[in-house]
Amino acid sequence: QRQTSSRAPRPPRPFPRAPSMAPSGLRLKVLAALAGASAPAAVAQQVGSQQAEVHPEMWMQECTAGGCDWQKGSVVLDANWRWINKDGKNCYMNDDTWDPATCSDPLSCAQNCAVDGADYAGTYGISTNSFKDGIDLKFVTKGAYSTNYGSRLYVMDSEDTYKMFRLKNREFTFTADVSNLPCGLNGAVYFVEMDQRGDWDGSGNTAGAKYGTGYCDAQCPHDIKFIKGEANSMNWNSTNVPPIGHFGSCCAEMDIWEANSRATAYTPHPCNKPGLTKCEGTECGDNAKGERYLGMCDKDGCDFNSYRMGDTSFYGQGAGYKIDSSKPVTVVTQFLTHDGTDTGDLSEVRRFYVQDGAVVENSEATILGPGAGNSITDDFCSKQKSKFGD
């Protein structure tokens, strides 16, 4: 469930454009990647026994200049979508409140309640595609007990650990089909600085990454029901949309692809602390308190949206656009460093598209004036903030 966008570190200072990189990194094919607001039932930290957890299979390629190797992987559903129960009885109730018998305080709630396995296809509309190199996602799925809206998945490299992507001096490539994704919905592919084991600690959280725990992003969402092994039940507001607790869950985020068939953007959102921070008060930067720009994360980020940057005919439905969203498109994002090494400072985030066998460079940011370029750099971000005031 997305709050809005998310963020990753902004380049520290401008550097000259680096030479083109040889294909490297990971290719991830995602078909009909649909994401949007949903109403998850509940989330907890122990392991339930009501439904077996079987991760949908997804093969990926890791590539160098010498070629590509296939790697078998899988995906896991975020814990916020899962049923949380104690021996089959709800810990988080249908009226969006916590059961006082099992959740009298945050720690006992985490110890009493279990997160269960997921019926990926039947309940959530998630399935491996016929080639096993991508995932098909449905936005609305009518199950036996409820109707589910949207989903959030993470890539795994084992049954118990998330795949960690090292992006600097590499590129990340995937293919998306958003032809059936209308205006108002967001099909998102993005990175967040989560713990590899989902904050598994063997006591308050024994579910871990296998059950999709440990989410955070740069919006510091308060609707995460368990954070670092404790329920987020303090001052729980069940009437808010979505229901929220006292604490937020903050971390840096890099939005690779926030898109539907009408618009797309990619956006880094930095935070001033590493990893997941369980925030409270001003540190969260809550909009409702008027503290958006006082928090630890850049919630606006530095986005590159071709339409907003001045090219209104770059992306959209039909042959009149350079990128025709009525057809699948391969999205290539490169993370260049100032010295061309894996340990150098991030200096530029560059975007390309591939469609119908042709490589299409990203549009130019003409609205920012001559020489603004077509990629995200420190100079681009400074000009963009000056132009739009956000």
Count other C-beta atoms under 10 Å from residue 358's C-beta. 8
Structure tokens at 246: 């006292």
Q: Annotated catalytic, 62? A: no
- Residue in 171, 258, 348, 364 annotated catalytic: 258
DSSP-assigned letters across all residues of 35-52: ----------SEE-SSS-
- Residue in 53, 171, 230, 253 annotated catalytic: 253
Give yes or no for a contact between 83 and 18, defined as CB atoms under 8 angstroms apart: no
Give yes or no for a contact between 346 and 191, defined as CB atoms under 8 angstroms apart: no
Q: Cα–Cα distance between 252 and 272 in angstroms, integer? A: 8
3-state SS class at 110: helix
Consecutive H or E run containing 383: helix 378-388
SS (H, E, C) 322-347: CEECCCCEEEEEEEEECCCCCCCCEE
Give yes or no for a contact between 319 and 300, defined as CB atoms under 8 angstroms apart: no
Our CA dihedral for 11, 14, 19, 24, rounded to 10 degrees, sits at: 0
Q: Annotated catalytic, 159? A: no
Phi, psi of 189 (to 5 degrees): -125, 120
Q: Cα–Cα distance between 15 and 17 in angstroms, integer? A: 6
CB-neighbour burial class of residue 384 (10 A; exposed 0-12, middle 13-18, buried 19+): buried
Positions marked active-site: 253, 258
